[in-house]
Chains A and B, each alone.
Chain A
Amino acid sequence: DAKTTQPNSMESNEEEPVHLPCNHSTISGTDYIHWYRQLPSQGPEYVIHGLTSNVNNRMASLAIAEDRKSSTLILHRATLRDAAVYYCILPTSGTYKYIFGTGTRLKVLA
């Protein structure tokens, strides 16, 4: 099963960009990369996902390395509301399992 590695925590200043890294060196060619975030005392929510090309939506951008062994979630201007745990996951190939790790806790400083 493809696994992901993320830093336990990161800090950012408000209104500055944030780059959250994720390593997935055992990714297979058809594995999608998903990002979710969990605000305090809430359920996780979808942020963005992609396969090979970089992706943008209203919440964030996803930059995928050319060899797909790593990806970066980019929040263009962090706000206090972006303080959350961010999870990078790869739905397990050949199954219907979405396995979450411990994620990166992002702290945004005012």
Chain B
Amino acid sequence: NAGVTQTPKFQVLKTGQSMTLQCAQDMNHEYMSWYRQDPGMGLRLIHYSVGAGITDQGEVPNGYNVSRSTTEDFPLRLLSAAPSQTSVYFCASSYSSGLAGSQGGANVLTFGAGSRLTVL
């Protein structure tokens, strides 16, 4: 059971380049999300998805696109990378039995190991 797998682990981009960070989970989790963590800071939610075909914005969505065509995969796309997007990116997943504040709030997150992105 691999859990949440993120690729690549490290990536260096030039300003204006595009790339996709991959996230895959093999736990049949409906809920998946992306966070970024800047040096010495906490995690900030970028986008999340509660199932195939359903995505929504988090705290810091600008500059990032997501889609969810399968339950297993939730890629994060940077269309035109900027130095401000230099960060460590974490993908997380969980079962989704409902909204937080109801039974859904009991679902716990499983995180990937992270992808370190540097934009020059």
Residue positions of A touching B, CB distance < 8 A: 28, 30-32, 34, 36, 42-46, 49, 51, 85, 87, 90-103
Contact = CB atoms under 8 A, between A and B. Distances in A.
Contacts of B99: 93-96
Given A91-B104, A98-B45, 17 more contacts: A30-B105, A31-B100, A31-B105, A34-B108, A36-B109, A43-B113, A44-B43, A44-B111, A90-B105, A91-B100, A91-B107, A93-B99, A95-B101, A96-B31, A96-B56, A98-B109, A103-B42
Contact of B41 (A34, A92, A99, A102): A102
A96 B101 contact: no
Contacts of B45: 97-100
Interface of B: 31, 33, 35, 41-45, 48, 50, 56, 58-59, 90, 92, 96, 99-102, 104-114
Contacts of A98: 33, 45, 92, 100, 109
Contact of A93 (B48, B96, B100, B106): B100
A32 B101 CA distance: 7
A49 to B, nearest CB: 6
A39 to B, nearest CB: 11
Contacts of B108: 34, 46, 49
A85 B50 CA distance: 27
